[in-house]
Amino acid sequence: MSYEIEPLSMMAKRCRKDIIEMIYSAKSGHPGGSLSSIDIIVALYQTALNFRIDDMNWADRDRFIMSKGHASPAVYSILHQLGVISKEDILSFRRLGSVCQGHVDMKWTEGIDFSAGSLGMGLSYGLGCALAAKMDNSERNIWVMIGDGETQEGQIWEAAMSASYHSSNNLKVIVDRNRIQNDDFVEKQMEIGDIGQKFDSFGWNVREIDGHNMEEILEVLKWAKEEKSGPCAIIAHTIKGKGISFMENNPSFHGKSPSEEEFNIAMEELQ
Amino acid sequence: MSSPSSGGASRDGYGKGLLRLAEDPRVVVLEADLGKSTKSHHFREKFPERTVSLGIAEQNMMIVAAGMASSGKIPYASTFAIFTERAFEQIRNGIARAGLNVHICGSHGGIHTGSDGSSAQSIEDLGIYRTIPNMAVIHPCDDLSAEELTVLTRDLNSPSYMRTVRNKVPRIYSVEEVKKLKIGKGSVIRDGNDVAIISCGIMVGIAHNASEKLKSQGISACVVDMHTIKPLDNDLLMELANKCGCFVTAEDHSIIGGLGSAVSEWASSEIPLPIEKIAVRDRFGESGEPNELLEQMGMSEENIVEAVNKVINRKKMQY
């Protein structure tokens, strides 16, 4: 293993604190899906994503498309930890004029590649970036993160079918399989079944991991980066609200800010 | 300007425009299984490496176009006008909100589409796309102007929607005249003082024919090709309002939301004046020949002549 696990886990913990702080400061936002995805996002930015910290608009950078745009605090936290945006920026989350809009928005925030907020679009956008990269004879990879509830959107499967047809081997999707969506558990809202098998049947290379096990994450990112036989799907089994006891696996923290008491408990748990 | 001569359909102009745009390596073409209908197939045949086929999946196509635009390409995505509407939210949230240089062409617009019936006759497109910030909305009247305006969209550096039509109509412009067109600037194709007929698409030729009839009645009608519905040419409207004092608008589109609405919105805040609208009166179309449908919907030359007489009477009552 060429990367140390410990620094990544420490960074993920700092990101979790940022996530809780910015949502508490805004008194609104989506903690559950931010906390479930942050371990993967930290590992992606630190070990797999090819970008230049001093030139976030470098044309030949890898793209990271956060399709589940409500988990914006996860992306803002990593951009803050990397020094791209400031503490003031993240604490102004969701306020008028803030660079940290409610959902990730490429017009407002340096380092954001996609204006999300409407589920189901990010994979198509990533495919567009992937096709353009091929036309430019570029080696850049396109990484897309989608939610598991998001796969209920038909457009995800339009994109999955066309990425396979176009042999987009530079397109990598990570499914944050946290099993909870806005109203309730996915299995109660509309069970989506075996997502890995579905992507497999659409012609994708598929691997499944524990999305909180840093060793597994690093290994699968390395695999996805090197796999060139077609598009890759990583099904990351995660826990919604991971890291905060009372948020874990709790549908009510999909899109709710903690109270003052809950905030204090959360920050204590993250010490 | 010269009187109408035989020509082509505006969708043919779109196809030719794409071929002219091909010299720019950034230009790419996206299709959703209707390239033969929208006429993007001419580009595909010559430049297959820059053409992306996305199957019958319009929502995916629009956002693939957005991703390509974000990577420095200038995508031209086309399907039937009605099927672009299926991807309205993708166009709104994924293309326009991010200000991406994506150009959408919806062909087979309006009841003029004819025998395919109401499912294929988009009569809402101009209205819905006009509500999206920073989006240019263009509806050319003949093949030559469609070709020219298609080429001009490339340098907008913001998204556009162009509606073309299925069927051939008489040509309004000559090869020389069409070079003067600019996006956002209406084009006076016949001068007149008593009334301004502000039209777009296939209704421009019909308005021109109506102006000939009006001439025989002693009425001098100005006919305008308002090919750009947004941004609307407010300067030209003010000039025409001052000169003519009343308007008739004419479009193959719902009376709600299109050119007539845009002109009325402008007039109600700038210079209230009598306006009559020739349009589809809040109903769906049906199968039939284009000219039969225009007659049935009250959108014929005679209907324009009647509307002009009505609006001139109301202007007289004002004084």
Among candidates A106, A118, A135 on the partner chain, residue whose Cβ is nearest the Cβ of B89: A118
User: B66 Cβ partners below 8 Å, 6+ apart?
Assistant: A124, A125, A128, B90, B94, B95, B98, B100, B102
Rounded-to-10 torsion of CA A248, A251, A257, A258: -50
pLDDT digits over A54-73, tens only? 999 999 999 999 999 999 99
pLDDT digits over B94-103, tens only? 999 999 999 9
CA distance A5 to chain B (A): 33
Mutate to test the interface with B, among A109, A124, A129, A142 (most CBs of B within 10 A): A124
The answer to whether B118 touches B284, Cβ cutoff 8 Å, is yes
The answer to whether B127 touches B254, Cβ cutoff 8 Å, is yes
Report the pLDDT value the prediction gives residue B71, as an integer from 0 to 100. 98
Interchain proximity A155–B67, CB inside 8 Å: no
Name the band, by pLDDT with cuts 50, 70 and 90, for residue B2: very low
Q: Which domain holds residue A198?
A: 5-269
In chain B, residues with a C-beta closer than 8 Å to the C-beta of A105 are 97-98
Report the pLDDT value the prediction gives residue B319, as an integer from 0 to 100. 67
CA distance A8 to chain B (A): 30
Strands (DSSP E) found in chain B:
27-31, 51-53, 74-80, 103-107, 136-138, 160-163, 187-190, 195-199, 221-225, 228-230, 247-254, 275-280
Interchain proximity B99–A107, CB inside 8 Å: yes
Total structural domains within chain A: 1
Name the band, by pLDDT with cuts 50, 70 and 90, for residue A4: confident
Average pLDDT, chain A: 97
Distance CA B159, CA A160 (A): 26
A→B contacts (Cβ < 8 Å), by residue, are 59, 65, 105-107, 113-115, 117-118, 120-121, 124-133, 135-136, 154-155, 158-159, 161-162, 165-166
Mutate to test the interface with B, among A106, A112, A135, A136 (most CBs of B within 10 A): A135
The torsion angles phi and psi of B138, rounded to 5 degrees, stand at: -130, 140
The answer to whether A242 touches A217, Cβ cutoff 8 Å, is no
The answer to whether A149 touches A120, Cβ cutoff 8 Å, is no
Report the pLDDT value the prediction gives residue A1, as an integer from 0 to 100. 46
Interchain proximity B90–A121, CB inside 8 Å: yes
In chain B, residues with a C-beta closer than 8 Å to the C-beta of A117 are 93
Strand B136-138, strand B160-163: pairing: parallel
Distance CA A32, CA A224 (A): 26
pLDDT digits over A221-246, tens only? 999 999 999 999 999 999 999 999 99
pTM over 0.90: yes
Mutate to test the interface with A, among B50, B63, B83 (most CBs of A within 10 A): B63
User: B47 Cβ partners below 8 Å, 6+ apart?
Assistant: B22, B29
The answer to whether A241 touches A36, Cβ cutoff 8 Å, is yes
Interchain proximity B49–A135, CB inside 8 Å: yes
CATH fold label, B181-318: Rossmann fold (3.40.50)
- Answer yes or no: same fold for B10-163 and B181-318: yes
In chain B, residues with a C-beta closer than 8 Å to the C-beta of A59 are 72
Q: Where do the domains of chain B lie?
A: 10-163, 181-318
Question: May I ask the CATH architecture of the domain B10-163?
Answer: 3-Layer(aba) Sandwich (3.40)
Q: Which of B68, B137, B79, B143 is nearest to B105 (CA)?
A: B79
Q: Mark A74-103 as b/e (b = at least 16 C-beta within 10 Å).
A: bbbbbbbbbebbeeebbbbbbeeebbbbbb
Specify the CATH number for the domain of residue A70: 3.40.50.970
Among candidates B55, B66, B89 on the partner chain, residue whose Cβ is nearest the Cβ of A128: B66
User: B18 Cβ partners below 8 Å, 6+ apart?
Assistant: B27, B29, B39, B40, B42, B43, B76, B150
pLDDT digits over B94-142, tens only? 999 999 999 999 999 999 999 999 999 999 999 999 999 999 999 999 9
